[in-house]
Amino acid sequence: MSIIKTEHLTYTYSTGTPFEKTAIDDVNLEIEEGEFVGVIGHTGSGKSTLIQHFNGLVKPTSGKVMIDNEDIWGEGVDIRAVRFKAGLVFQYPEYQLFEETVYKDIAFGPKNMKLDEEEIDRRVREAAAFVGLKEHHLQKSPFELSGGQKRRVAIAGVLAMRPKLLILDEPTAGLDPKGRDRILGQIKEYHEQAGNTVLLVSHSMEDVAKYCGKLLVMNQAKVYMYDTVEAVFAHVEEIRGMGLAVPQISRIFIELARAGYPVPSNVYTVESAKQILLETLRKGGSAHA
């Protein structure tokens, strides 16, 4: 069953002015429930505008957006309820923190859902623990924390609402490699445990190859491709033509294959590369063997 469906979705900025620009152009898309989808595209491709439609942050110029089989702009639909179902974590989400304590920041969403205090407390502690925040962090000011910890507070605030659809716009931007891996690992664990749908917007081809099952490629305001990671990165030259890159490990294996080494050219993660190289070395593989 689809969690997201769009029909002829179009969005135009500054309609009727000299600055008019179509950011999303006639997008027809269907994403199944439970998928972990990477959303990629060059700057200005429309990917951020697209995901903002999924929780009603922007309203289509034309077309429909359906979340969980409900037209979110249909007559009588409560858009607030849609936003609880489709949680959006913005790029640099720590800039959204504003409460006196970490606990209050994480509790903000559940409170707006009109939950009782016991349920709010349960959700705050559960979400905090899930992203690796300790008990002593909860009573601190969020502004006393490190950049990575602030990012985890912001993500916990969305997780505490238990959305069926979790949307993250560059959640690891500006973090060091260790912080990035920690947060993406926690998001992957959340996806596996909760079984909910996750959309991850990222400029890192390595990250989407490692963590995502499918890739949605945006180009010039349209969906250029939506398929498995393997199927998308098989179109190496087309991807490069859009100003995107394939994972570094993929480029290495493409060159090894071209040089005549008995390795596949469709390798996208370091872990799979490691296994292939070990197996090749075990067999005594060499160029032109």
**How confident is the model over 47-63, as pLDDT tens digits?**
999 999 999 999 999 99
Structure tokens at 186: 């926690």
Q: In this model, does residue 172 exceed pLDDT 90?
A: no
Q: 212 is written with which tokens?
A: 């995502």
* Domain layout of the chain by residue ranges: 2-235, 247-289
What is the CATH superfamily name and number for domain 2-235? Answer: P-loop containing nucleotide triphosphate hydrolases (3.40.50.300)
pTM: 0.88
Mean residue pLDDT across the chain: 91
Q: Residue 105's pLDDT is what? A: 95
> Other CB atoms closer than 10 Å to residue 150's CB: what's the count?
21
Percent of the chain exceeding pLDDT 70 equals: 98
What pLDDT, on the 0 to 100 scale, is given for residue 176?
85
pLDDT given for residue 94 in this prediction: 80
| Cα 114 from chain centroid (whole Å) | 27
Looking at residue 261, its amino acid is: Y
What pLDDT does residue 285 have? 57
pLDDT tens readout for residues 246-279: 888 888 888 888 888 888 877 888 888 888 888 8
d(CA 54, CA 159): 16
Give 91's pLDDT tier (boundaries 50, 70, 90). confident
Rounded to an integer, the average pLDDT of 166-183 is: 88
- Confidence band for 286, pLDDT divided at 50, 70 and 90: low
| The pLDDT of residue 289 is above 50 | no
Q: What is the mean pLDDT of residues 123-136?
A: 93
Q: In this predicted model, what pLDDT tens digit does every residue of 136-156 receive, in sequence order? A: 999 999 999 988 898 899 999
Give tens-digit pLDDT for 12-31: 999 889 999 999 999 999 99
Per-residue model confidence as pLDDT tens digits over 188-242: 999 999 999 999 999 999 999 999 999 999 999 999 999 999 899 888 889 888 9
Q: What is the pLDDT of residue 193?
A: 92
